[in-house]
A = this chain, B = another copy of it.
Amino acid sequence: MTDRRNIDANRVVDHCRMMWRIRAFEENALRGLDEKIVLGAIHPTIGQEAIATGICANLNRDDVLLSTHRGHGHTLAKGANPEAMMRELFGKEGGNCGGKGGSMHIADFGVGMLGANGVVSANIVIAAGAGHAIKLKGEKKVVCCIFGDGAINRGPFLEGLNWAVVFNLPVLFVCEDNGFAATTRTKTMTGGDGPSARARSFGLQAKEIDGNDVMAVDETAREMIDAIRNGGGPRFLHAHTYRLTGHTGSDPATYRPKEEVEEKWKDDPIVRASALVDGQKDAIEKAKAEAYAEMSRAFDVAKAASFPSADLAFTDVQDAGDPRQGAY
């Protein structure tokens, strides 16, 4: 639990700003879903904003982030432009991926965000490889790989973590533990003592923290990222949180009692962070208002934008060969 006495009030306000931006982005994305202009599935990060925020505050622009299907928050926190993201969700021209990816493949290589991923756990081995390249090139960058608690039951979790240890790679692995894998309580499908215990058994230093305490995330991430950047090898951060929405934007999440969700709303990470700094109420309110204005603008611009031109379907496949050969 963060100690209020030595708190950096400006940093808290900055975190609140980022968390509100994520929250506002997600709410606008959900609005897009309602209006049927978000075209595929989206996986909201409402309630989980503190992890993206606390971690990315400690990453440089040229550090690298790999995310999951639930990647909007991470992407924003890494510095991506929300308008381009909203365009991508709406499948519009000017989306980060030109409309080819959508929510589950959101990426912004310009800010080191190397992609969400539609395959659970797949980002873990890719992250290990990104770290491998950094080491080979002698760079000082850090890779951060965020995944859910469901991902730790797939093989790439073991293979990627082992790899990072064996090659002593600069990778921070973050398990964003919201207690659920889709409609299933993850604990019922996970043997043993969970993510950190497993990570330790593979040789990583690991810490388990309250992921709804943004300052705790910030501090732990800072320590770990510093150690990693100084050649200390991979680290593992297990952050507890709760998904306040359904698994997807259209999941009513009837598999959990209303009371549980109501109780968890009291643990809203933004409310908690705000409570740390009484004197900053106005600054935080202002940041919130700006965040909603920004995301509502992003929504409007994206909504008004055009779909990409159909021939772009044939670009960026690969250099060799004609993708139209034999078609239709």
The B-contacting residues of A in range 135-175, CB under 8 angstroms, are: 153-159, 161-162, 164-166
Copy total for this chain = 2
Contacts of A179 in B (CB 8 A): none
Partner of A165, one of B157, B165, B191, B197: B191
Contacts of A190 in B (CB 8 A): 162, 166
Contact status A166-B154, CB under 8 Å: no
Closest Cβ of chain B to A131, distance in Å, is 14
Closest Cβ of chain B to A162, distance in Å, is 5
Is the C-beta of A311 less than 8 angstroms from some C-beta in chain B? no
Closest Cβ of chain B to A146, distance in Å, is 19
User: A204 CA to B192 CA in the complex, in Å?
Assistant: 7
Is the C-beta of A198 less than 8 angstroms from some C-beta in chain B? yes
Contacts of A157 in B (CB 8 A): 155, 158
Contacts of A202 in B (CB 8 A): 191-192, 198
Contacts of A162 in B (CB 8 A): 153, 190-192
Contact status A193-B203, CB under 8 Å: yes
The B-contacting residues of A in range 178-236, CB under 8 angstroms, are: 188-193, 197-198, 200-204
User: A162 CA to B166 CA in the complex, in Å?
Assistant: 23
Contacts of A153 in B (CB 8 A): 158-159, 162
Contacts of A156 in B (CB 8 A): 155
Residue of B nearest to A158 (CB): B158
Query: Please, could you name 17 A-B residue pairs with CB atoms under 8 Å apart, sorted by A?
Result: A153-B158, A153-B159, A155-B155, A155-B159, A158-B198, A161-B191, A162-B192, A164-B191, A165-B192, A166-B188, A166-B189, A191-B202, A191-B203, A192-B200, A192-B203, A193-B203, A197-B201
